[in-house]
A and B are shown apart, each in its own frame.
Chain A
Amino acid sequence: MAGPIVTGNTTSTTEESSGGFLDMLGGLGSYLMQPDVLLPGVVGGLLTGEAYGRLSDIGRQARTGAEELAATQLEQTQFRPFTVTTATGAGMGTRVTPEGGIETTMGLSPEEVALQQQLMGGAGGFFGQAVQPREDREQAIFERMRRAQRPEEERQRLALEERLAGQGRLGVSSAAYGGATPEMLAMATAQEEARNRAMLGAMQQAQAEQMQQAQLGQAFLGAGYVPQQQLMAATQPAQQLAALQQQAQLQGAGLFGEATMSGLEAQLVAEQARANLLGQTGAGLLSGALTPRSTGNSSLISALGSIFGQGGS
């Protein structure tokens, strides 16, 4: 099997490496202690550390700047309350509540309020009538129609009575004609038909009136909201202006942010460039200090190379 063979090889390798590393650290130390290595190396290291520190500061400054920018833009984009007053005296106002919400208030002029109350009251009245049972109204219409019909019926009755009296038939009662004369039966039938028509007409009229009441209520209700609708309509231009203002405000805040961010970015780039320059300088110094020379510091270079350029070799 391959397992035992690999394990044995590994153990053997670890033991060899452990002994080499300690040897290498010993050699590195002695190498670094050399003057031509130590000074450039320290300077280079300091410069590199400075560059590293500057880069960290640049990040903090950028964050702080961004936060300040956000706070500024938040303030710049804050809703600005406005009010609208119509020509008829109605008005709409907005305000930001302490909780940050936006509260809108509307108010009508006294005349509009009175009109609205009148219309609303009328609507209530019409709706109230529309939901009433129709029977009473049917009866009332029927009675009214009958009142209109009765005089003519009475005239016809009197005429028939006179005619029958003239014919000496006022007292005729025939079973074949419901206990009356043919003429009286015909008149009674006609009057009953008229009564029936009046009754049906009254029912239809009551229904139509009910529908009309509902429609009138609807119309009054709609009309009652007209002042409010007109106020709302009157606020549209103001809302548009407010929106434009908000848009400009947002745009200005954006521009402000962009400009501020551009400055920050430019500062970051510059600081980054400075840091890079300082880092490159330090790196150069370190590179110079750690570069092997013919005098024999190859072991240091090798050692630094193994430390910093591991893998790069």
Chain B
Amino acid sequence: MAQQLQSINLVAPAFKGVNTEDSPLAQDPSFAEIADNAVIDKRGRIAARKGHTVVTTNKTVLGTDSLRSIKEYKDNAGNTKIFSVGNNKIISGTTTLADETPGGYSISANDWKIVNFNDHMFFFQRGYEPLIYSNHVGSVEALSSHPHATGVASTMYGHEVLAAYGRLWTADFSTNKSTIYWSDLLDGAAWSGGSSGNIDVSKVWPDGYDEIVALAAHNGLLIIFGKHSIIVYDGATSPASMTLSDTVAGIGCVNRDTVQYTGTDVLFLSHTGLKSFGRTIQEKSMPISSLSGNITKDIIAALQNETEFFRSVYSPEEGFYLLTFTGQDVTYCFDVRGTLENGSYRVTRWPSTKFTSFTRLEDGTLHIGTTDGISTYTGYSDNGSGYRFKYYSPSLTFGDSSRVKILKKLKPTLVGANNATVFLKWAYDFETTYATAEFTVGNQITGFYGESEYTTVEFTAGQLTNARVLNTTGYGTSVQVGLESEIDGFALSLQEINVMALIGKLL
């Protein structure tokens, strides 16, 4: 007697992002084994990320190097200017990159951190005299050359700089990893006299020794990130009187450039994954606070293999926190709109993007630095080139791993992906060789009422929805389903995948 097909509907597959921590067999189908170049879209579906459009047309000063940092200067008068660093230069501009390196100032590294503070922009990198730009001077200059600079000495050539509580704070020096210097009030160029000062936290580390990696300001607190511990000072508005508020042992920060503010929290990358400061303080470094709990091993592996820079950005408009390991050319995208049951963010992976720096402008525009110069995170191609969107489900057992499943049909429902070629893949029993079914999404030009083509073509809905039924082959106790598509010009969201299978005999 013929058996009835059993339908397993994967609604909003990968809604919970990638999970490489749990056993594939026990996983919720809402997780994904792979979600490359994907984001969780506004409807909670896995979708292709946006691409980037290069706005730079003249990158002579950058040469073949990539932009390592981008920052927008903005003063109270409304003057703005985009600065970036790369090719051992200080660069300004977006379309035409201009060398702003001060004359006679030699640079051989590009790991600058740039901050805005009180109508001035400051560039800090370990071992280099800080640089400063202001509209009233009109050019980048060495800090000691600035008109109201005081106390500029090699002892304060820090790698980390923070603009907070009316001062600049700097730390992580070549030979001193435990001292933080702060500038005079409202004057980032004054490092002596006034209310400037410093604090040596070498005796404060909760486990005896650590090195300052990053600084952050949150909720009236000065947060000092060590490599494997955190110190929190209260009352940093009056640094001479600020007092130790809390310490956290076992969690530190890997790199200053992983620290991002989300408005209500501070995100940072520790050696065990992405962490949230608020949760860390509340839970005293309990493991469950890890925001990257679903990819912990992947993050740790990436950390261990990283030889270059870490770059990150928080975009409230896109609702994500991007973390790039530039040496491995991989970016993890954490959806910060909510956390899962285990406290983790939904995460996807963006491989081979060549992104090397980010910045978010005041208007919400996300600028990306690459070897091509400055790009804008927009559109659905990487500067005219496609990129591969991948989704692979965890191994599905349909509730009974002891019985054979014989896939009959796969019915994916896609949104968008106009004229894209879609590859639907499946494999049994953890095989890495997938069977593939290919189809092309129909070309549908969106016609809007009242626009030019309304009179000649039929107007359509805003988004193209495409549902296909594909016959499948083979059998096994567990099934993994995947979908790949080259994104080149159009968005793609995976609404659902309906798996039709016969449940076979017991093995």
Contacts and interface: CB of A to CB of B under 8 A. Distances in A.
B204 A172 contact: no
Contacts of A182: 240-241
Interface of B: 178-179, 184, 192-204, 231, 233, 239-244, 247
The 9 closest A-B pairs by CB, nearest first: A171-B200, A168-B244, A174-B197, A174-B240, A167-B243, A168-B204, A176-B195, A172-B199, A175-B196
A82 interface: no
A175 B197 contact: yes
Interface of A: 165-177, 179, 181-182
Given A169-B244, A171-B179, A176 B203 contact: no
Contact of B203 (A165, A177, A179): A165
5 contacts: A168-B204, A171-B202, A172-B197, A172-B200, A174-B196
A276 B6 CA distance: 202
Contacts of B199: 169, 171-173
Contacts of B244: 166-169
Contacts of B203: 165, 170-171
A172 B194 contact: no
A14 B179 CA distance: 153
A175 B199 CA distance: 11
Contacts of B197: 172-177, 179
A166 B243 CA distance: 8
A168 B204 CA distance: 6
Contacts of B195: 174-176
B240 A168 contact: no
Contacts of A177: 197, 240
Contact of B193 (A167, A170, A172, A175): A175
B172 to A, nearest CB: 15
B200 A170 contact: yes
Contacts of A165: 203-204
Contacts, number: 64
Contacts of B179: 171
Contact of A170 (B196, B204, B233, B241): B204
A185 to B, nearest CB: 9
Nearest to B196: A175
A172 B202 CA distance: 11
Contact of A173 (B193, B198, B247): B198
Given A171-B199, A176-B240, 6 more contacts: A165-B203, A170-B203, A172-B239, A174-B239, A175-B192, A177-B197
Contacts of B204: 165, 168, 170-171
Given A168-B231, A171-B203, A176 B194 contact: yes
Contacts of A179: 197
A130 to B, nearest CB: 51
A181 B243 contact: no
Contacts of A176: 194-197, 240
A102 to B, nearest CB: 89
Nearest to A183: B241
Most chain A CB inside 10 Å of its own CB: which residue of B179, B233, B244: B244
Contacts of B184: 175
A171 B233 CA distance: 13
Contacts of B243: 167-169
B168 to A, nearest CB: 14
A177 B242 CA distance: 14
A14 to B, nearest CB: 139
A219 B242 CA distance: 63
Nearest to B185: A176
Contact of A181 (B192, B194, B196, B240): B240
A172 B194 CA distance: 15
Nearest to A165: B203
A260 B239 CA distance: 120
Most chain B CB inside 10 Å of its own CB: which residue of A166, A172, A179: A172
A161 to B, nearest CB: 10
A181 B241 contact: yes
A151 B262 CA distance: 52
A38 to B, nearest CB: 151
A175 B200 contact: no
Contact of A168 (B192, B193, B201, B239): B201
A175 B151 CA distance: 11
A179 to B, nearest CB: 8
B150 to A, nearest CB: 10
Given A176-B194, A176-B195, A171 B240 contact: no
Contacts of B231: 168
A12 B418 CA distance: 205
A40 B47 CA distance: 201
Contacts of B201: 168, 171
Nearest to B232: A168
